[in-house]
């Protein structure tokens, strides 16, 4: 693993060359996709925008726990149609086919001929987008196969866990002018969207600090004999850092305009001892269970401190091996007050009494995000309290209208690269590690995410 981030090797050559031929700061690129040439644009104001579509046809790779959830949501999203599904477990593919057919669509084609069959899906199916909700190792290979076949790529979290792979996704998305989107559902949860709206309305003043993380007792999931138990625990045997940063950092990055006015600069990270999974082995597994022989290196609690280019600070935690209630912390502090979650509470100078908290509930009447107010969304909501529907709804809306997506390849890369950045810092006695700027300076002109209507 190299110590230096990779951005020096990537010097904006391709986009620089394109910019030379563009007018008024707009990059217009032609890309051959199947039998049609599509015109796509990227401007100083907007990241990638692709032509409007009538229907978004989807090939879906990996229909286990989360993939099946997405299939259910997408069947309810106007304008989306799942035309193919792929899984190494044929029953999983069949289950997804049944869901789509029962929802009134044509039965999607199944690709269940082994671990590489997603390539055949990418290369042969006439679709616009390839989604993947596979184990972490497969996100990059599936996205790469999709983009090389002229499709947009959509992946579950994290998009990648190696910095080199984050660059690969960015470079390929730019080369082919394809979207490569990581679905970070927590950006769409009700409290996160309330906080974003309050920040945009200026109540918090200038945002200076965030605290976030993924604090979830996953011991049962990691030792399950199906689903994530088949692959997730293995990462704890060889990696020590923050393995799952995006649920926490995604919303905070939006509050702090990361990639859109500010940028991550560097981090330091520290992991504590590894005890939780070992104790679970001893307490819960049969004496002859081969998993008792596994050894783990993942510290139960990993902490990171991130400094942004504008000098702001973020505290990020990963804590998934110990008994504890669920939390993503979700704290954001500005010059005029602060907001936090678990439970959701707000203190705004001049509004909140003394130095005390108010329940966030009191702010919904005035500051509920328009997407959460919308009947269209409320009626169809589902999955993790509604946010899983909303993230798919927004993505499909943006693709249908030809608008820049809320989350883009630069967000996927910036949020996901924290996996390796924390691992490098931990391995180096908490040394400071530079965080690559995948936008190559364009964060200075890209605009903060707007508050959108349904």
Site residues (vs ligand NAD, CB under 6 A): 61-67, 86-89, 92, 115, 118, 133-136, 138, 156-157, 185, 227-228, 230, 384
Q: Strand locations in 133-252, DSSP E?
A: 152-155, 180-182, 207-215
Q: C-beta of 325: minimal distance to ligand NAD in Å?
A: 17
- Local structure of 273: helix, strand or coil: coil
From residue 109, give the alpha-carbon distance in Å to each of 29, 72, 141, 193, 347: 32, 17, 21, 36, 52
Q: C-beta of 414: minimal distance to ligand NAD in Å?
A: 17
Nearer to ligand NAD, 88 or 338 (CB): 88
- Rounded to whole angstroms, the Cα distance separating 230 from 195 reads 36
- Rounded to whole angstroms, the Cα distance separating 15 from 157 reads 27
Judging by DSSP bridges, how do beta strands 80-86 and 109-111 pair with one another?
A: parallel
Tokens of 28: 């217009």
Q: Determine contact, residues 399/50, Cβ cutoff 8 Å.
A: yes
Q: C-beta of 118: minimal distance to ligand NAD in Å?
A: 5
- Rounded to whole angstroms, the Cα distance separating 444 from 42 reads 15
Q: C-beta of 97: minimal distance to ligand NAD in Å?
A: 13
Tokens of 318: 């990963």
Q: C-beta of 77: minimal distance to ligand NAD in Å?
A: 16
- Local structure of 389: helix, strand or coil: helix
Nearer to ligand NAD, 88 or 147 (CB): 88
Q: C-beta of 156: minimal distance to ligand NAD in Å?
A: 4
Shortest-Cβ-distance residue relative to ligand NAD: 64
Nearer to ligand NAD, 157 or 418 (CB): 157
Nearer to ligand NAD, 135 or 448 (CB): 135
Nearer to ligand NAD, 64 or 248 (CB): 64
Q: C-beta of 229: minimal distance to ligand NAD in Å?
A: 8
Nearer to ligand NAD, 65 or 261 (CB): 65
Q: Determine contact, residues 187/250, Cβ cutoff 8 Å.
A: yes
CA nearest neighbour of 319 among 256, 385, 250, 273: 273
Q: Determine contact, residues 257/200, Cβ cutoff 8 Å.
A: no
Q: C-beta of 334: minimal distance to ligand NAD in Å?
A: 27
- Rounded to whole angstroms, the Cα distance separating 169 from 164 reads 9
Q: Determine contact, residues 219/280, Cβ cutoff 8 Å.
A: yes
Nearer to ligand NAD, 188 or 296 (CB): 188
Nearer to ligand NAD, 61 or 191 (CB): 61
- Local structure of 331: helix, strand or coil: strand
Q: C-beta of 440: minimal distance to ligand NAD in Å?
A: 27
Nearer to ligand NAD, 174 or 189 (CB): 189
Residue 215 DSSP label:
E
- Rounded to whole angstroms, the Cα distance separating 182 from 157 reads 6
The residue with tokens 């926490």 is 248
14 CB contacts (<8 Å, ≥6 apart)? Answer: 174, 175
């Amino acid at each position: 693993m190299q110590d230096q981030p990779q951005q020096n090797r990537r010097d904006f050559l391709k986009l620089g060359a394109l910019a030379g031929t563009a007018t008024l700061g707009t990059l217009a690129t032609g890309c051959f996709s199947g039998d049609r040439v599509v015109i796509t644009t990227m401007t100083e104001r907007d990241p990638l925008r692709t032509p409007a579509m009538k229907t978004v046809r989807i090939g879906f790779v990996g229909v286990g726990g989360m993939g099946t959830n997405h299939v259910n949501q997408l069947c309810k999203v106007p304008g989306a149609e799942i035309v193919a599904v792929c899984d190494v477990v044929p029953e999983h593919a069949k289950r997804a086919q049944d869901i789509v057919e029962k929802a009134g669509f044509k039965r999607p084609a199944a690709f269940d001929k082994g671990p590489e069959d997603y390539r055949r899906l990418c290369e042969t199916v006439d679709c616009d987008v390839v989604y993947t909700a596979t184990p972490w190792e497969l996100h990059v290979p599936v996205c790469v196969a999709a983009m090389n076949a002229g499709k947009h790529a959509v992946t579950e979290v994290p998009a990648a866990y190696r910095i080199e792979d984050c660059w690969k996704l960015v470079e390929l998305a730019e080369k082919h002018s394809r979207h490569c989107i990581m679905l970070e559902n927590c950006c769409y949860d009700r409290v996160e969207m309330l906080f974003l709206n309050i920040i945009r309305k200026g109540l918090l003043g200038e945002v200076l600090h965030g605290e976030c993380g993924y604090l979830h007792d996953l011991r049962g999931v990691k030792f399950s004999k199906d689903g994530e138990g088949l692959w997730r625990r293995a990462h704890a045997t060889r990696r020590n850092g923050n393995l799952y940063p995006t649920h926490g950092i995604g919303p905070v990055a939006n509050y702090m305009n990361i990639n859109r006015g500010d940028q991550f600069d560097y981090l330091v990270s520290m992991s504590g001892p590894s005890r939780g999974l070992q104790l679970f082995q001893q307490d819960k597994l049969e004496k002859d269970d081969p998993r008792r022989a596994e050894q783990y290196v993942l510290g139960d609690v990993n902490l990171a401190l991130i400094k942004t280019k504008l000098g702001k600070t973020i505290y990020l935690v990963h804590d998934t091996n110990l008994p504890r209630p669920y939390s993503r912390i979700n704290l954001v502090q500005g010059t005029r007050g602060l907001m936090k979650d678990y439970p959701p509470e707000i203190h705004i100078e001049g509004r909140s009494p003394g130095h005390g908290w108010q329940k966030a509930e009191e702010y919904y009447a005035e500051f509920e995000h328009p997407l959460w107010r919308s009947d269209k969304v409320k009626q169809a909501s589902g999955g993790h309290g509604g946010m899983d529907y909303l993230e798919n709804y927004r993505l499909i809306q943006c693709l249908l209208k030809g608008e820049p997506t809320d989350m883009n390849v630069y967000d996927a890369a910036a949020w996901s690269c924290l996996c390796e950045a924390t691992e490098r810092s931990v391995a180096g006695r908490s040394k400071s590690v530079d965080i690559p700027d995948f936008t190559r300076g364009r964060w200075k002109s890209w605009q903060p995410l707007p508050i959108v209507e349904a």
